[in-house]
């Protein structure tokens, strides 16, 4: 069937034809672009006609960093902590919530919830807060960075943790000052034993979580994502969904290397999954991607990012992977044609990642695989040009630079990255953010003083450049004949409104491969 979308303001992100009035879609592909009169003539009498009423249309958004399954579980099946409430109110809400599960045979169900802020408990978070209400039921709470957490005594017991347990190499068990007993708070990889002790949900729960997450992406105009923590559980369910034709989202699935918390499996199982990545791919799930965590989070109270010393050297205190092991792994992945995304929160980890990529380029000089650095919160000025020189994508996320309480006002140097001619993408880091809405992020990119960029540059980063980063520029990212018909209709024209109105932009409808995946209740199309 043919569909003609007419009387619109199509911002195509095609330099040869930046604007158009109408498009013709057939079999999920753009087959003609032009004026309303031209498209109506080409459509003939059998086509569906959709009058856009002069609204702005742009390519579907590419979210360069998200966590679909984690976000779906968080908002649909796990408890929420009100940061403005009291500890007692939190305990009451957890006891009453429908978040009691999963469980193993013969064991009580787990309560999983989040996220607590640094000052939520008044003093150091302690399992005693949870033990009073849940002495026999395991409880795990994520902190607001998702890198750390708090477990009650029952959860520690099921994970095999005691007061004599030694700290892991890349993490720390917080202890009571007077006695040395575990408080239950775990920093970075110290949380692994507890997370691995939590049983899997059923595949039906995973499916419901993912269906909700995909629908939420559509509501915010997202038609393509990079899943930054593709676990075996998630991939199993995504490929099943794709097999039944119910996955209306293109997913570049980054398989997790050496991170049992985000990966949902042991290191051996994660390695095995990467080795057989082709076997878990499907038409809308591309598994030629790997995710590596090189440091932690640049947020208090546990600052676990890797910075540079006063002398400009890399402070390796918080580096999670030794440099030789990092180079060896990336070299192997690069030879196999796998794109690597490295989580970097500090200037030191960014430099360490670039150093590793430089070694890989020397080792595999004919490789054309474009690798990435995730977040790029802080980049030293001396490293900006290296992104272009090494063909490395600067992924700018999470989309929280506009939230004052996160204290990242000195980070995310959009203009500097753009002026260095680096390939720049934008991600929501959904799970940290309440939703994957990137329009507030776009406004932040335009309102950063000397680090501001133009609206045209921001839109290109969210569309065509995002598609290029995952090797799909020939299929998506702009509105051109022959490309997939992935586009969104907006309630306002981003190129004509005051920049301070951009954050409030609403998606009227989202079209994925020619099918309407979302339409607003208020839409009159």
CATH number at residue 46: 2.30.40.10
Q: Worst-scoring range by mean pLDDT, 93-97, 214-218, 401-405, 442-446?
A: 401-405
- 76 part of a folded domain: no
Whether the predicted pLDDT of 363 surpasses 70: yes
Query: How confident is the model at residue 99, as a pLDDT?
Result: 82
What's phi and psi for 37, nearest 5 deg? -60, -45
pTM, entire model? 0.96
- Looking at residue 524, its pLDDT comes to 64
Q: How confident is the model at residue 401 (pLDDT cuts 50, 70, 90)?
A: low
Residue 396 above 80 pLDDT? Answer: yes
At residue 352, does pLDDT exceed 70? yes
- Tell me what pLDDT residue 102 has: 84
Identify whether residues 447 and 464 lie together within a single domain: yes
At 107 the pLDDT is 86
CA 99/CA 497 separation, integer angstroms: 43
How many angstroms separate the CA atoms of 453 and 440, rounded? 14
Tell me the average pLDDT across 394-415: 79
Instruction: Compute the average pLDDT of residues 356-375.
Output: 96
CA distances from 81 to 97, 115, 117, 120, 519 (A): 11, 6, 9, 10, 31
- Identify the CATH number of the domain in which residue 141 sits: 3.10.310.70
Confidence tier at 132 by pLDDT (50, 70, 90): very high
In a domain, 87, yes or no: no
Residue 106 binned pLDDT confidence (cut-offs 50, 70, 90): confident
- Interatomic CA distance for residues 318 and 98, integer angstroms: 37
Cis amide bond preceding 252, omega within 30 = no
Domain interval for residue 489: 1-59+478-525
Q: Which two tokens stand for residue 223?
A: 């038609």
* Percent of the chain's residues with pLDDT above 90: 90
**Residue 301 vs residue 100, higher pLDDT:** 301
Partners of 48 in the beta sheet? 3
Query: 510 and 362 in one domain?
Result: no
CB 202 within 8 A of CB 227: no
Are residue 350 and residue 381 in the same domain, yes or no?
A: yes
- Are residues 286 and 164 part of one domain? no
H or E element in which residue 159 lies: none
- State the pLDDT at residue 134: 96
Number of domains in the chain: 3
Confidence (pLDDT) at 118: 87
pLDDT of residue 402 exceeding 90: no
Residue ending a domain, choose from 143, 175, 197: 197
Decide if 65 contacts 226 (C-beta within 8 A): yes
Please tell me the predicted confidence (pLDDT) of residue 525: 66
Q: Are both 295 and 384 inside the same structural domain?
A: yes
pLDDT at residue number 158: 96
* pLDDT for residue 127: 97
pLDDT of residue 1: 81
Last residue of a domain, one of 456, 476, 496: 476
pLDDT at 455 over 80: yes
- Are both 299 and 407 inside the same structural domain? yes
At residue 486, φ and ψ (nearest 5 deg) are -110, 110
Q: Is residue 444 part of a domain?
A: yes
350, 487: one domain: no
C-alpha R_g of the chain: 23
Give yes or no: residues 452 and 392 share one domain.
yes
pLDDT at 408 over 80: no
Mean pLDDT of the chain: 95
CATH code at 368? 3.20.20.140
* Sheet with 79-80, side-by-side order of all strands: 79-80, 111-116, 139-143, 148-151, 182-188, 171-175
Question: 136 and 225 share a domain?
Answer: no
Least confident of 390-394, 405-409, 490-494: 405-409
Q: Which two tokens stand for residue 284?
A: 């809308």
If asked whether residues 343 and 451 sit together in one domain, one would say: yes
Same domain, 249 and 322: yes
User: What is the predicted pLDDT for the residue at 285?
Assistant: 98
Split at pLDDT 50, 70, 90, the class of 335 is very high
What average pLDDT does this structure show over 219-230? 98
**What is the mean predicted confidence (pLDDT) over 144-160?**
96
Q: What is the pLDDT of residue 255?
A: 98
Is residue 251's pLDDT more than 90?
Answer: yes
Q: For residues 152 and 156, give the distance between their C-alpha atoms in angstroms, rounded to a whole number.
A: 6
**pLDDT (0 to 100) of residue 340:** 98
pLDDT reported for residue 70: 97
The whole-number pLDDT of residue 10 equals 98
Q: Indicate if the pLDDT at residue 17 is higher than 80.
A: yes
More confident residue, 256 or 84: 256
pLDDT of residue 279 exceeding 70, the answer is: yes
Cα separation values, 241 from 206, 227, 273, 512, Å: 11, 16, 19, 16
Please state the φ and ψ torsions of residue 346, each to the nearest 5 degrees.
Answer: -120, 165
Taking 80 as the threshold, does the pLDDT of residue 404 lie above it? no
One domain for residues 232 and 321? yes
């Amino acid at each position: 069937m043919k569909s003609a979308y007419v009387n619109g303001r199509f911002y195509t992100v095609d330099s040869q034809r930046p604007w158009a009035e109408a498009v013709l879609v057939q079999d999920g592909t753009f087959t003609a672009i032009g004026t309303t009169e031209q498209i109506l003539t080409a459509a003939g009498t059998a086509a569906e006609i959709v009058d856009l009423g002069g609204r702005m249309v742009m390519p579907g958004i590419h979210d360069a960093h998200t966590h679909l399954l984690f976000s779906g579980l968080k908002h649909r099946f796990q408890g929420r902590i009100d940061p403005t409430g009291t500890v007692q109110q939190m305990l009451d809400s957890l006891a009453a919530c429908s978040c009691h599960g999963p469980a193993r045979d013969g064991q009580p169900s787990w309560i999983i919830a989040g996220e607590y802020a640094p000052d939520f408990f008044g003093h150091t978070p302690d399992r005693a807060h949870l033990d009073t209400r849940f002495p026999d039921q395991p409880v795990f709470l994520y902190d607001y960075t998702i890198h750390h957490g708090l477990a009650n005594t029952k959860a520690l017991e099921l994970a095999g943790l005691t007061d004599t347990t030694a700290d892991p190499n890349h993490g720390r068990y917080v202890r009571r000052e007077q006695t040395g007993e575990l408080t239950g708070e775990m920093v970075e990889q110290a949380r692994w034993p507890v997370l691995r002790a939590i049983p899997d949900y059923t595949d039906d729960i995973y499916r419901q979580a993912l269906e909700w997450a995909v629908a939420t992406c559509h509501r915010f105009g997202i038609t393509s994502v990079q899943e930054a923590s593709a676990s075996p559980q998630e991939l199993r369910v995504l490929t099943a969904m794709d097999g039944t034709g119910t996955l209306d989202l293109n997913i570049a699935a980054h398989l997790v290397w050496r991170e049992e918390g985000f990966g949902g499996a042991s290191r051996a199982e994660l390695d095995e999954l990467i080795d057989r990545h082709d076997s878990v791919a499907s038409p809308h799930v591309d598994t030629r991607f790997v995710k590596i965590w090189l440091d932690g989070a640049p947020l208090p109270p546990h600052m676990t990012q890797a910075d540079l010393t006063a002398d400009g050297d890399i402070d390796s205190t918080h580096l999670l992977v030794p440099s030789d092991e990092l180079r060896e792994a990336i070299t192997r992945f690069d030879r196999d044609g796998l794109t690597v995304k490295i989580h970097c929160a500090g200037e030191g980890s960014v430099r360490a990642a670039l150093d590793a990529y430089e070694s890989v380029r020397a080792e595999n000089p004919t490789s054309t695989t474009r690798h990435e650095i995730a977040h790029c919160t802080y980049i030293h000025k001396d490293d900006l040009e290296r992104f272009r020189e090494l063909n490395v994508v600067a992924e700018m996320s999470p989309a929280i630079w506009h939230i004052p309480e996160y204290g990242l006002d000195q980070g995310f140097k959009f203009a500097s990255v753009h002026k260095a001619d680096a390939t720049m993408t934008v991600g929501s880091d959904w799970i940290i953010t309440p939703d994957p809405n990137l329009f507030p992020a776009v406004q932040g990119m335009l309102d950063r003083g000397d680090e501001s960029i133009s609206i045209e540059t921001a839109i290109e980063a969210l569309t065509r450049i995002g598609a290029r980063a995952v090797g799909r520029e020939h299929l998506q990212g702009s509105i051109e004949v022959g490309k997939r018909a992935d586009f969104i209709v907006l309630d306002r024209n981003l190129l004509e409104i005051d920049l301070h109105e951009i954050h409030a932009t609403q998606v009227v409808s989202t079209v994925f491969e020619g099918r309407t995946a979302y339409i607003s209740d208020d839409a009159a199309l």
